[in-house]
Amino acid sequence: MTSLKIKKRIQELKEGFLRDAAEVRDSKAADALRIRYLGRSGLLADLFSLLGSLPTAEKKDAGRELNELKKQFQESVDALQARFRSAADAACSFDYTLPGDPMWIGHKHPLQIVMSEIQACFKNMGFSVAQGPEMETEYYNFEALNIPRGHPARDMQDTFFIDEEKEIVLRTHTSPVQVHVMENQQPPVRIIAPGRCYRNDTPDATHSPVFHQVEGLCVDEGVAFSDLKGVILAFARSMFGSDMKIRFRPSFFPFTEPSAEYDFSCLICRGKGCRVCGGSGWVEISGAGMVNPEVFKYVNYDAERYTGYAFGMGVERIAMLLYEVPDIRMFFENDIRFLKQF
Ligand SMILES: [Zn+2]
């Protein structure tokens, strides 16, 4: 072997390595490259074994050159392996077989749940749903409901007035919807009016400046107080169960005569007495009564021919009783920890 020949072999080996290294696409191929060139019986070892046949003077130079080459190959293979290893690690850190993060699915607000159930009950009994504006004139909110200016009943409700003249109000109840319906439709009328109402109350555990009501109205020939009791009882039983009892207590509202407040047997203890009902077994729901004939005058109904009943209920009140929510403000704070429970 001459030094010229070995120089040629070294050059060929260099070029071959560069060619092969350019083809490496993964760490397995990088391993194969290392074995082929740097392995115990690899191409570099072949050349080292030829050193012995060189003249002593040339052996040293060729040896240094081969050692230099060995170092270069080693560095190149290390770099390739490091590159593919970090790519493989990155791929491993994303495990496609793991279940994904669950998506949060929104659902109805507790007040909407209760409101929908109330509406469904009354729809089953032949009531249709009527809507009206939340901003009303004082005529619809008070006067046409037999609450004229100066009437003490106006003081019963703390009203949000929109204008200086106190003619535009945020409705204090959904009763104005009844007036709109009766103005546009002769009896028979059988509607419920669900919606938002506003009162200038200081917020506390049982008062909120915005709240929801469902108001009911039925007008026809021969409608009696017993029909009202029957409808309220049917509602109580279809909404809360067949063991529900109801009771009426005399009361006063300007737009009904006679008027009553009605109670349900406690939704939690079913009449036995508990913390929610204060041990009485009854919970107060809302007011009701026979439509005052004075109200019929405002909408040109023949009070001699028609009679009717009206009733209301607070949606928050029912939701608080049903879900044992201790503070009405929780419905409006939109705390997701609270809302998630329904
Ligand atoms: Zn109770």
pLDDT grade, residue 109 (50/70/90)? very high
Distance CA 100, CA 202 (A): 46
Measured in whole angstroms, the distance separating CA 9 from the mean position of its chain's CA atoms is 75
Tokens of 153: 């009943």
12-47 tens-digit pLDDT: 999 999 999 999 888 888 899 999 999 998 898 988
pLDDT grade, residue 9 (50/70/90)? confident
Determine the distance separating the centroid of ligand 1 and the alpha carbon of 228, expressed in angstroms.
25
Q: According to the model, what pLDDT value does residue 157 have?
A: 58
Which pTM value belongs to this model?
0.67
Q: According to the model, what pLDDT value does residue 62 have?
A: 86
Q: How many CB atoms lie within 10 A of CB 152?
A: 8
Distance CA 17, CA 40 (A): 16
Q: Burial level of 212, CB count in 10 A (0-12/13-18/19+)? A: buried
Does position 156 have pLDDT exceeding 60, yes or no?
Answer: no
Distance CA 208, CA 306 (A): 37
Measured distance between the N- and C-terminal CA atoms of the chain, rounded to whole angstroms: 90
Strand bridging mode 246-253 / 210-220: unpaired
Determine the distance separating the centroid of ligand 1 and the alpha carbon of 122, expressed in angstroms.
25
Tokens of 134: 């939340």
Q: According to the model, what pLDDT value does residue 57 have?
A: 79
The CATH T-level fold of domain 110-339 is BirA Bifunctional Protein; domain 2 (3.30.930)
Determine the distance separating the centroid of ligand 1 and the alpha carbon of 156, expressed in angstroms.
29
pLDDT grade, residue 250 (50/70/90)? very high
What letter does residue 161 receive in the DSSP assignment? B
Measured on CA atoms in the order 197, 198, 204, 206, is the torsion positive or negative?
Answer: negative
pLDDT grade, residue 1 (50/70/90)? low
Determine the distance separating the centroid of ligand 1 and the alpha carbon of 315, expressed in angstroms.
18
Instruction: Locate the domains of the chain by residue range.
Output: 3-93, 110-339
What letter does residue 104 receive in the DSSP assignment? P
Determine the distance separating the centroid of ligand 1 and the alpha carbon of 43, expressed in angstroms.
92
Determine the distance separating the centroid of ligand 1 and the alpha carbon of 323, expressed in angstroms.
13
Which residue reads 């506390």 in tokens? 204
Strand bridging mode 168-170 / 135-137: antiparallel
Determine the distance separating the centroid of ligand 1 and the alpha carbon of 235, expressed in angstroms.
19
Q: Are 62 and 44 in contact (CB under 8 A)?
A: no
Q: Are 191 and 129 in contact (CB under 8 A)?
A: yes
Q: How many CB atoms lie within 10 A of CB 130?
A: 20
Determine the distance separating the centroid of ligand 1 and the alpha carbon of 245, expressed in angstroms.
13
